[in-house]
Amino acid sequence: MPRIAPPHPPVLQATAAVDMNDVSGLTALDLRPTGGDDIVQQLNTAARRPRWGWIAAITAFVLGAALLPWGFIIWAVAVPGCWWLFLRDALRKNVVLLYDLDDAPAVWFDRFTTAWSATAASDRLWRTVESGRVQTTYQHKANAGVGAIVRRVPAMANIEQPKGLATNVDIPTLRAGKDALYFLPDRLLVCSGKHYSDVSYRHLAVRRSVTRYVEQPGQVPKDTQLIDQTWQYVNIKGGPDRRFKNNPVLPVVQYGQLELTTTHGLAWSVQSSRSTALDGAGSLLLNVQA
């Protein structure tokens, strides 16, 4: 069962200075692969290969434009060569990974893909990248009475094919900025920009919970449960601090939360606007056999 977070919920924006710490963990560039084979090495090698098709096309265009009207001849000669290079680049920059669709991991993966559709249906998703504890009475009173401050970035869940990987299954994907997690049948593929690493599921620690969160006025997602309200400035007893004329009422909502971590440095904390949206996928990750 999801565990309820401590009574003081975090709030996104602080009015009193709170020391913030990076909680996003290592990127794929620094994360040691634990998948057990050379797929990550192949992906990173393919990602570094230059796109000769685009280089040739741009060179031919510039050269042709500089030598008009003879440039039309250059363009006519360059078209088939550039097309061949584009096809060659597509092959060289893709790694093929095929899965057996009839074994036990395939059954688990099919269930996970179905559960991921519920995650993707959540109105909003976020990834927490910074967190700071409220330590002084003034910080507590000036930040809606919360116990912690977090900074989040928007996240998106869908089902897609990872760039550079050609496979026979569609992959549940979690993306936040330039970072992404790809849930493959046999491992978690971690992507940062154009660099890849991976995590064996047996190394993955999973924690599901429900957390209280102080939102900003007018920013409550449509599928979120509103459970309370507070004020930007509160007194010791938790009521509004009446010394402030501009003291907006803030909604307190309930979000779902899924934390994925490893001892090697992976750290993803994801919130869903619908409190149960991450439950199915989180439960299956807790029971994966890899």
Same domain (yes/no): 109, 245: yes
Contact by Cβ (8 Å): 194, 47: yes
Same domain (yes/no): 147, 273: yes
Number of domains the chain is built from: 2
Q: How confident is the model at residue 289 (pLDDT cuts 50, 70, 90)?
A: low
Same domain (yes/no): 143, 85: no
Could you tell me which residues come within 8 angstroms of residue 235 by beta carbon, excluding any fewer than 6 positions away?
141, 241, 242
Same domain (yes/no): 66, 151: no
Same domain (yes/no): 38, 73: no
For residue range 173-185, what is the model confidence (pLDDT) as tens digits?
A: 999 999 999 999 9
Average pLDDT, the chain: 89
Same domain (yes/no): 86, 109: no
Q: What is the C-alpha separation between 159 and 121, in angstroms, rounded?
A: 12
Same domain (yes/no): 127, 185: yes
Strand pairing category for 225-231 and 249-261: antiparallel
Same domain (yes/no): 208, 125: yes
For residue range 119-160, what is the model confidence (pLDDT) as tens digits?
A: 999 999 999 999 998 888 888 888 888 888 999 999 999 999
pTM for this entry: 0.85
Q: Which domain holds residue 80?
A: 50-92
My answer on whether omega of the bond before 50 falls inside 30° of 0, hence cis, is no
Q: What is the C-alpha separation between 205 and 202, in angstroms, rounded?
A: 8
Same domain (yes/no): 214, 235: yes
For residue range 239-269, what is the model confidence (pLDDT) as tens digits?
A: 999 988 899 999 999 999 999 999 999 999 9
Q: What is the C-alpha separation between 73 and 85, in angstroms, rounded?
A: 19
Q: What is the C-alpha separation between 129 and 204, in angstroms, rounded?
A: 19
Q: How confident is the model at residue 226 (pLDDT cuts 50, 70, 90)?
A: very high
Q: CA geometry: angle at 276 spanning 126 and 252, to 5°?
A: 65
Could you tell me which residues come within 8 angstroms of residue 62 by beta carbon, excluding any fewer than 6 positions away?
none
Same domain (yes/no): 104, 238: yes
Contact by Cβ (8 Å): 53, 42: no
